[in-house]
Structure 1
Amino acid sequence: ARGVIWGCSYKRSTLIVCSINIVVALYVLRSLYASLYLYSNSDFNKVVKYTPDQVRKMEESIRIRRAKEPIELVKIVRELKEEFSRGEMVAGLPKEVMNRITDEILQRLRSLNSNANISEQRDAIESWRKEKLQEVKQLVHGTGGLNSSILKQEAGMLERALESDWAVLSENIGLWVPAEIIHQEHNDKPEDEEEPEEEVLPGRPLSPECHAELHT
Structure 2
Amino acid sequence: MEKLQQQKCWRAVRSRISYKNATIVVCLLNIVSALILLQGFLFPSPSSRLASSNKGTALYRNIKESEDIRRSMVPVDLIRRVREIGKDMSVETESVKQKDVKQTAAEDLISKLNNFRSYSDVGNVKALEEWRKRKMERAKQRSILWD
Say which structure, 1 or 2, has more relative contact order (CA 8 Å, 6+ apart): 1
State the TM-score, normalized to the length of structure 1: 0.21
Where is the helix percentage greater, Structure 1 or Structure 2?
2
State the TM-score, normalized to the length of structure 2: 0.30
